[in-house]
Structure 1
Amino acid sequence: MKFHYLSTRVFVCVNIFIASHQVLMFYSYRYQLNLLRVKLKSEAEDLDPHQTPCLLKSVKMLDTSQVLVIQFNVSSQYQDVFESVPRDIPPNITYDKPLNQLISRSVVFIIIGTLLLGTTEAQQQAPIRMGVLLEGSLRDLASNYVINKGAGETEAFLNTSGNLVVEDISTYDLAYSTISDMADRGFNYFITGADSQFDAAYDAAGDHPECFFLVAVNDHTNQERLPSLRKNMASFRRDLVAPFYLLGYIAGKVSTSVGFVVPGPPVENYYSVNAFFNGARASNAIFNLSVVSTSSYNDHDTALGAINILEQDQAITAVTQSQDDMLVSEHYLARGLNAFGSNGFAQDIRYGSRIFQSIVYDYSTIFSHFAQLIKDGNWQSTHYYATFANGFYQLSDYSYLVPAEAQADIALVFNKLVNNETDTYCCSANNLEFFDAQCVSYHDMLDMEEMYSSVTNYGYYAVPTTEVYDTAGVNNTFLAVSSIQILCGLIAIVACIIFRNKLPIAYSNILFCFGLALGAILVAVAILLWNLHEKNRGICVSRIWMASLGYTFIIGLMIVKNTRIYYKFEELLRKKSDKISPITPDRVYSWLSVLLIIDVILLAIYTGTGDPNKIDSLGLDGIGKYEYTQNCVNNLNGDITLYIILVYHGLQLLYGCYISWRTRRVDLEEFEETHEFSTVTYLISFTTFIVVPLMAGITSQRSRDAIISSVAIFTSFSSLLILLGSKFWKIYNPIQDDGLPKIALDKLPAKPKGHGISGVKNTNTNAVSEYSRNQFLTAVANPTGSSAMFDD
């Protein structure tokens, strides 16, 4: 930017000079021309006043020579006079542009140059306003505090004001909105204090290219994105191994047994433990290190549990940690023991001489470096590596408990680290446990997921959790009802077989009845799985499959057969025929198979990409922090697929409502079940479209499960009772008249009163003649065995 600024100034100044020179030169030559004209006129007083002894033809400024030249047309009798007049104007070259164009071009050059200079000067002199984002509280006297301290020292270095530090920015949305708001308010230098804010800063840098971003990263996250940093971004990271080596070296000088609390993999590999142990053994060959892992940087409950474990080791005289706070050390300090500061703050300021030594972070070295680049107009998208060599790591004041001889030895090791001698902390005989050489690389140290065998490993500590199962009564109720529904479905299948020759079953077709019963049974199985106490991946997947397939059987069979009935009835009216052919099962199931294939594909996508599984949810639905419930969950892809499945079944219901409305006038005894289809379709639709919106306002997972179970049991059990139960009731208690209107039948051909569909005399209004009955049933069993009855 600095070069751009200087080059712009030079370019503008040169153009202003050229333009000004052109104007001045033109007026100079024009002045000489006027003098020449006056002298020629005085020499030829008898000349015709309408003629000019010296006629100005044109004037031209050549772009190559930048010289104004004029061509003259002089009368021959005055040529001697013209030649005798002294002049500085070269003759015989033409310039055909008027003076106003020359002046206009010069003015334009001057205006543009002034604007460019003003704009560049404004950019150059724009004040740096710094915005710092902290993941936690700046009062933690740890990492967030020292970042804030570094920002304050950078502010003093820049001699600016109006900078801002924002606390507790721990989510993407909060980080992005904070940066955008500050950018709109004039902040132009943003610093993130944690790698969790990287993504938000990366996106914000693209939206605000006029701002500069210095983002924190570490050696395990966001590394793959560093090469693709935007031009207005730079990053910084710390050497994670060297400071623990030096702290361990100090520990070996003042103690023989130290306790160490770390997160442990996968939160943090054991590089901190192994580096600390190497440093301690370098200064004390009999040093012992005891370690407890907690899987967290800042969880107080697990830290207290780790303390209780370390307290059992009576040999421990000092402790330290790689966590964000000093909770572990505070407990031992209260007991009169000692500790080390490892989180960037000079802990001796707070706890006094009980702190042997602290590794201090100086973030001003990083922040000031990039602020100076902005100030100089020389921003560079680079990766800053903070080490002892560039002054980022420093030591606080020694405790009086550290002997002077030990301080001298520590100073030697410190100077080696300042000189960037990595062999100091990357070479140890302990490395032979995991590698083929004593000296390994820095990244090999970072990747260590195991401790050295000489380290006393007390393992992981986790706060014991307790399962909460307070919905046993509700779940048992649904288990009982779903079991009853399964039993009723099986009984219905058996009853259909027994009464397969009865008209209500024969008209509907036994295979069709089997499909309806199977759908109700599948939904009941889904509800049974939904309310089991113990869950696993198989249960979580199966319950979705059972529920979706069950409703596809129930709704799909109804809408397919209802559609066939509608077209069949319309055909009877159009042809004015009384030949009624049944809806055969092959026609129904051929269309149902299409609906089932779509459903199976969606369910397979859900299973393959949705990652459905069982988890123990801690603190969910208002239970205690360390209480859990078993729940089935899936990822975002699973959620999207489930919504698609719900929409798919919703479209089936909408079409079912439409076709039910169209078949409301069908009143033939052979197709009277269409009215039962309508009842069930309206019932399921009404229940679903009322309950589903209500689910959006319910956050309790247990309440959601109860509502889902209730709706599924109600709709599927009601469908079973209405569709099949009504058929068994008609078999048990035949009726003479179903009370349906006979409007549509009036349009059919007239036939003798009391005759059935074949025109044969029939005194039973509830039944058709033996001839027509046998003919109809034959067509149901064998659609191609009767030429009189057909299904187009």
Structure 2
Amino acid sequence: MKSTAFSRRSLLASTLGSALAGMVWLDHAHAEDFKMGLLVPGSVAEEGWNRIAYDALKRVEKELGAKISYVELAENPAAFEKAFRDYASQGYHVVLGHGFQFQDAALTTAEDFPDTVFLISSSSVHEGKVIGLNTDASQPFYLMGVIAAKMGNGAGLIGGMEIPPIAHAFEGFRKGAESVNPDYPVSTVFINSFTDASAAKEAAVSMMAQGADFVVPNANAAGLGVIRAAQESGTQSGTFSVYSDYTDVAPKNILGTFIADYGQGIVRIVSGIRDGAVPQSNVDFGLKDKDVIKFTFNDEAARSIPQDLRNHLEEVSAKIIAGEIQTRAK
């Protein structure tokens, strides 16, 4: 597979610089004693959302010399809180809950464990030592919406659960599509699972039957069902890889891949915490952070994105970064 990078790598200075500008200073943790835990909603063996967090955790181990541990959990808020409490009671300095669904459990647990920093992925929270790490997926999804409206007749969006990060991403897609064609039809289904690939596939097939020639997942591991539905349609349907590269599964159907790789950001933030500081705000990653949010094109797709559209997407991306285009309501 050949793919063309949407933009080159750059440092996280803008986002992480502002996030680390104000600090709450803590007792310094000796490097050899520093411990970080991870909670994931599913298996780290699966490519996609959970693997992103696991890879970041392994980088913390390798680059910071931290002792690490992780736990795989079903969607159960009581289990989330128990896992947070287990780590905090064992003296873990940082615990990352990988997903917005961990936020409430972290806020409750933090009241009893003031010495532990709780990081929450896909969250904008900032209360004491509960810090949100938000990847603004509405921005790359806006680009997907532009592509779909330029190249297709309708789209179907399949989400795992109706939670803010996914709702924001889908809002971005709709805004992008509407910027091209205000009447472009977009339907949305939430399957209430991040692991049920069969349900995601069934939803995608139903949308294609109703005229959607783009089906787009945002459902963690379940999203693979959407990719397979597109692949089985021949070249009738286009799609995008989200959070992992599934191009080998549907090389003719995937027009582009969005990967959120904030391992470097995690390392920098956790390094600061290890050295005695906690960010004074949540951390918000966007298209400006080109080594975190990566959007690439698939040149081997049956309907490869033409060069004039790629040039247009560069212009749109620049306007998003400059704040001239709002991809979702604030």
User: How many residues are aligned here?
Assistant: 299
1:178 to 83, 86, 93: 83
Q: Label 1:340 to 1:148 Cα distance change in 2 as closer, same or farther (>3 A).
A: farther
Instruction: Provide the rounded CA distance (Å) in 2 between the counterparts of 1:351 and 1:237.
Output: 29
Instruction: Provide the rounded CA distance (Å) in 2 between the counterparts of 1:279 and 1:260.
Output: 14
- What corresponds to 1:549 in structure 2? none
Instruction: Provide the rounded CA distance (Å) in 2 between the counterparts of 1:380 and 1:294.
Output: 34
> Structure 2: which amino acid aligns with 1:406?
L
Deviations 1:631-678 (A, max 9, x none): xxxxxxxxxxxxxxxxxxxxxxxxxxxxxxxxxxxxxxxxxxxxxxxx
Greater share of strand residues, 1 or 2? 2
Instruction: Provide the rounded CA distance (Å) in 2 between the counterparts of 1:193 and 1:264.
Output: 15
- What corresponds to 2:38 in structure 1? 132
- Give the TM-score normalised by structure 2: 0.74
Instruction: Provide the rounded CA distance (Å) in 2 between the counterparts of 1:341 and 1:150.
Output: 23
Residues 234-633 of structure 1 correspond to what in structure 2 (within 5 A)?
Answer: 234-253=131-150, 255-263=151-159, 272-282=169-179, 285=181, 288-294=184-190, 296-298=192-194, 299-300=196-197, 302-313=199-210, 316-324=212-220, 325-337=223-235, 338-341=237-240, 343-348=242-247, 350-352=249-251, 354-391=253-290, 392-400=292-300, 401-417=304-320, 419-421=321-323, 423-426=324-327, 442-443=329-330
Q: Label 1:157 to 1:282 Cα distance change in 2 as closer, same or farther (>3 A).
A: farther
Deviations 1:7-61 (A, max 9, x none): xxxxxxxxxxxxxxxxxxxxxxxxxxxxxxxxxxxxxxxxxxxxxxxxxxxxxxx
SS at match of 1:207: coil
Shift of 1:357: 0.4
8 Å CA contact 2:157–2:189 kept in 1: the answer is yes
Deviations 1:675-707 (A, max 9, x none): xxxxxxxxxxxxxxxxxxxxxxxxxxxxxxxxx
8 Å CA contact 1:235–1:384 kept in 2: the answer is yes
Instruction: Provide the rounded CA distance (Å) in 1 between the counterparts of 2:59 and 2:29.
Output: 24
8 Å CA contact 2:160–2:219 kept in 1: the answer is no
Q: Label 1:347 to 1:154 Cα distance change in 2 as closer, same or farther (>3 A).
A: farther
SS at match of 1:396: strand
Q: Label 1:187 to 1:246 Cα distance change in 2 as closer, same or farther (>3 A).
A: same
Shift of 1:270: 6.3
SS at match of 2:157: strand
Shift of 1:356: 0.7
8 Å CA contact 1:329–1:339 kept in 2: the answer is no
Shift of 1:190: 0.7
Q: Label 1:142 to 1:156 Cα distance change in 2 as closer, same or farther (>3 A).
A: same
Q: Label 1:190 to 1:274 Cα distance change in 2 as closer, same or farther (>3 A).
A: closer
8 Å CA contact 1:257–1:287 kept in 2: the answer is no
Q: Label 1:236 to 1:274 Cα distance change in 2 as closer, same or farther (>3 A).
A: closer
Q: Say yes or no: does 1:148 pair with 2:44.
A: no
SS at match of 1:442: coil
Greater share of helix residues, 1 or 2? 1
SS at match of 2:227: helix
- What corresponds to 1:233 in structure 2? 130
Aligned-pair Cα RMSD in Å = 3.5
Question: What percent of counterpart residues are identical?
Answer: 17
Shift of 1:360: 1.1
Instruction: Provide the rounded CA distance (Å) in 1 between the counterparts of 2:25 and 2:317.
Output: 42
Q: Label 1:306 to 1:181 Cα distance change in 2 as closer, same or farther (>3 A).
A: closer
> Structure 1: which amino acid aligns with 2:142?
Y
Instruction: Provide the rounded CA distance (Å) in 2 between the counterparts of 1:385 and 1:367.
Output: 12
Instruction: Provide the rounded CA distance (Å) in 1 between the counterparts of 2:48 and 2:68.
Output: 21
> Structure 1: which amino acid aligns with 2:144?
L
Structure 2: any 5+ residue segments left out of the alignment? 1-22
8 Å CA contact 2:123–2:132 kept in 1: the answer is no
Structure 1: any 5+ residue segments left out of the alignment? 6-119, 427-440, 444-792
SS at match of 2:294: strand
> Structure 2: which amino acid aligns with 1:214?
L
SS at match of 1:319: strand
> Structure 2: which amino acid aligns with 1:403?
P
Instruction: Provide the rounded CA distance (Å) in 2 between the counterparts of 1:292 and 1:203.
Output: 32
Shift of 1:367: 1.4
- Give the TM-score normalised by structure 1: 0.34
Instruction: Provide the rounded CA distance (Å) in 2 between the counterparts of 1:167 and 1:207.
Output: 23
